Amino acid sequence: MSEILPAFFCGERRLASAGLTLDSINPATGEVIARFPRCGKSDVDAAVTAAVQAFPPWRSLHPEERAAQLLALADRVESDRERLLRLDVRDNGSPIREMALDLDIGTKHLRYFAGIVLQLRGETIETGYDRLNYTLRQPFGVVAQIIPFNHPLMFALKTIGAPLAAGNTVIVKPSEHTSLSAIALAEHIEKVFPPGVLSIVTGTGDEAGDALVTHPDVRRIHFIGGEATGRTIQARAAGMGVKSITLELGGKNPIVIWPDADVDTAIDAVVSGMRFNFQGQACGSTSRLLLQRAHRRAFVDRLAEKLDRLRSGMPEDESTEVGAIVNEAQMNKVLHYIEVGRREGGTVCVGGERLRRGEFAAGYFVRPTLFTDLPAASRLLQDEIFGPVLATVDYDDYSDAIRIANSVRYGLTASLYTRDLRIAHRFARDVEAGYVWVNDNQRHFLGAPYGGNKASGLGREEDPSELASYTETKNVNLRFA
């Protein structure tokens, strides 16, 4: 394929200054479907310079004017829904019906932050009869949004609403594995925003991403991705001064089935919680299934039957329930962990293999996999695999369940199914996770803070605190007597 899809910065479509490109590969077929710029430091420098220049007039706009442009972008995305959706599916490999929900979530976030833009306000503080003391919330300037491969268009949309509404200019660096929908989004960005306000810079993490993180004029960074990369970003940013950073990192999240839970409901919850509909490629997926020892066997047998019925298929087929792993390297990582589980003595109850025949021959398809009988120190119970691999672990009583749930370094989400409100409230209090579901899973609610504890990240999103996090507080003390 000779055509190169350009990135978008400095208010125009641009190729990488060095002329380098990256290939976009359809994970369902293994075919190269597009090429796009592999931007480097000089390209990032140009994008940041444009963002710095665009910042003063953008922050000076009335908040409702900034909100109107966010709404205009949401309208344009929705009018271009079919094209953007199919582009995302071909680039990412997840089923089309799931990616359609992603698009809706992204535009809802734009509308949400446009709607609460006037809630960004300071406060007055009593300090004396002849004084007025008040605070201002002021934008940082240039914000970098570094987003992952699992929800390309959704993250490209949902991460820009808060910083733009707060008056910052934004540079989005999509994953080098799934950049096409962000590139297509630029066609609407240039019709809505002034040049330099919102840019799309494509490239690898260690080139374009690192150049953004270490640029002295990028004072605010938001990263979604793996824990190791998050720690690297912290270290690299610290070497260039003091920057404000939020991180939404990985998880090895527990779902606890209490003995009194309805079995059919719980089995459905385990399947949906693991996010097999995204091939397990979700930070919040509940990949550790905690079952009371006495009830484990019967539950696992029924769960295995349900997993075996999940339909793997081409991502663009509306009936597909499990699509393709995003790229070959990620697929090989998943298959490696499956072999690790076998070597550790685990039992594969269902799945555990790559699909290689017929329409699956050239793609990166791995069947939903269920492990039991793993030792407590198993890597499958400790490491984030980011693939369709669910591992069970037995517990004896409540204390044992909490100990196991909290035994990993992560703390993003947790889920419990029970009819006992006493157990529900104890679990919500005791589990080390930033986002807890009881008799529910995977649902997010705009206005409710989402984020992780421990190694799962810093900061919260999806609520008014996210909007405030893209501002700095300034205190003003005025003596008028």
pLDDT tens per residue, range 415-450? 999 999 999 999 999 999 999 999 999 999 999 999
The proportion of the chain whose per-residue pLDDT surpasses 90, expressed as a percent, equals 97
State the helix-helix crossing angle for 296-309 and 263-273, rounded to 10 degrees. Answer: 50
Range of the domain at 165: 7-249+456-478
Which residues lie closer than 8 Å to 440 by C-beta, 6 or more apart?
269, 415
| DSSP string of 290-347, one letter each residue | EEEGGGHHHHHHHHHHHHHH--B--TTSTT-SB---SSHHHHHHHHHHHHHHHHTT-E
Q: Residues 291, 242: one domain?
A: no
Q: Residues 159, 201: one domain?
A: yes
Q: Residues 244, 269: one domain?
A: no
What backbone torsions phi and psi does residue 146 show, to the nearest 5 degrees?
-110, 115
Look at residues 225, 275, 287 and name the one whose alpha carbon lies nearest to residue 250.
225
| 213 vs 48: CA distance, rounded Å | 11
Locate all alpha helices (DSSP H) within 371-456, ordered by sequence: 398-405, 421-430
- 49 token code pair: 């310079």
Does some domain include residue 108?
yes
Do 382 and 408 form a contact (C-beta atoms < 8 A)?
A: yes
Does some domain include residue 2?
no
Q: Residues 286, 189: one domain?
A: no
Does some domain include residue 380?
yes
| 92 vs 324: CA distance, rounded Å | 8
Q: Is 328 a catalytic residue?
A: no
Residue type at position 322: V
Q: Residues 214, 109: one domain?
A: yes
Task: Give pTM, 2 decimals.
Answer: 0.96
Q: Residues 370, 405: one domain?
A: yes
Question: Residue 395: its pLDDT value, please?
Answer: 97
Q: How confident is the model at residue 241 (pLDDT cuts 50, 70, 90)?
A: confident
The mean per-residue pLDDT over the stretch 312-327 comes to 97
Which one of 10, 39, 283, 349 is the catalytic residue?
283
Distance between start and end Cα atoms, the chain: 73
What backbone torsions phi and psi does residue 385 show, to the nearest 5 degrees?
-90, -35
Q: Residues 189, 263: one domain?
A: no
| 281 vs 194: CA distance, rounded Å | 35
Question: Residue 295: its pLDDT value, please?
Answer: 85
Q: How confident is the model at residue 322 (pLDDT cuts 50, 70, 90)?
A: very high
| 89 vs 316: CA distance, rounded Å | 7
Angle at 35 between CA 30 and CA 37, to 5 degrees: 140
Q: Is 1's pLDDT higher than 80? A: no
DSSP 8-state code for residue 118: G
> Tens of pLDDT along 375-429?
989 999 999 999 999 999 999 999 999 999 999 999 999 999 999 999 999 999 9
Does some domain include residue 46?
yes
β-pair partners for 24 = 34
CATH number of residue 73's parent domain: 3.40.605.10
- Residue for token pair 């690297």: 232
The mean per-residue pLDDT over the stretch 6-11 comes to 93
Q: Dihedral through CA 3, CA 5, CA 6, CA 12, nearest 10?
A: 100
- 377 token code pair: 């120190």
CATH number of residue 439's parent domain: 3.40.309.10
Question: Residue 481: its pLDDT value, please?
Answer: 73
Q: Residues 267, 236: one domain?
A: no
Distinct helix (H) and strand (E) counts, the chain? 15, 22
Do 364 and 327 form a contact (C-beta atoms < 8 A)?
A: yes
Q: Residues 71, 46: one domain?
A: yes
Q: Residues 139, 281: one domain?
A: no
Q: How confident is the model at residue 128 (pLDDT cuts 50, 70, 90)?
A: confident
| 270 vs 274: CA distance, rounded Å | 6
Chain mean pLDDT for the chain: 96
- 255 token code pair: 């779902």
Distances (CA, A) of 359 to 150, 222, 351, 459: 23, 38, 18, 43
Q: Is 283 a catalytic residue?
A: yes
> Tens of pLDDT along 102-118?
999 999 999 999 999 99
| 140 vs 124: CA distance, rounded Å | 22
Which residues lie closer than 8 Å to 328 by C-beta, 6 or more apart?
25, 27, 30, 364
Which one of 98, 176, 207, 248 is the catalytic residue?
248
Instruction: With residue 186 as reference, give the H or E element that holds it.
Output: helix 180-192
β-pair partners for 134 = 124, 476
What size, in residues, is the chain? Answer: 481
Q: How confident is the model at residue 480 (pLDDT cuts 50, 70, 90)?
A: confident
Do 91 and 178 form a contact (C-beta atoms < 8 A)?
A: yes
Look at residues 288, 252, 258 and name the one whose alpha carbon lies nearest to residue 425.
258
The proportion of the chain whose per-residue pLDDT surpasses 70, expressed as a percent, equals 100
Does some domain include residue 1?
no
Angle at 223 between CA 378 and CA 468, to 5 degrees: 125
What backbone torsions phi and psi does residue 252 show, to the nearest 5 degrees?
-130, 75
Question: Residue 2: its pLDDT value, please?
Answer: 54
Does some domain include residue 349?
yes
> Tens of pLDDT along 164-203?
999 999 999 999 999 999 999 999 999 999 999 999 999 9
- Residue for token pair 């199919």: 86
Q: Is 3's pLDDT higher than 80? A: no
Q: How confident is the model at residue 243 (pLDDT cuts 50, 70, 90)?
A: very high
Question: Residue 60: its pLDDT value, please?
Answer: 98
Look at residues 259, 252, 255 and name the one whose alpha carbon lies nearest to residue 396.
259
Q: Is 62's pLDDT higher than 70? A: yes
Do 249 and 353 form a contact (C-beta atoms < 8 A)?
A: no
Q: Residues 160, 238: one domain?
A: yes
What backbone torsions phi and psi does residue 301 show, to the nearest 5 degrees?
-60, -45
Domains in the chain, number: 2
Does some domain include residue 451?
no
Q: Residues 233, 84: one domain?
A: yes
Does some domain include residue 364?
yes
| 368 vs 387: CA distance, rounded Å | 9
Do 202 and 6 form a contact (C-beta atoms < 8 A)?
A: no
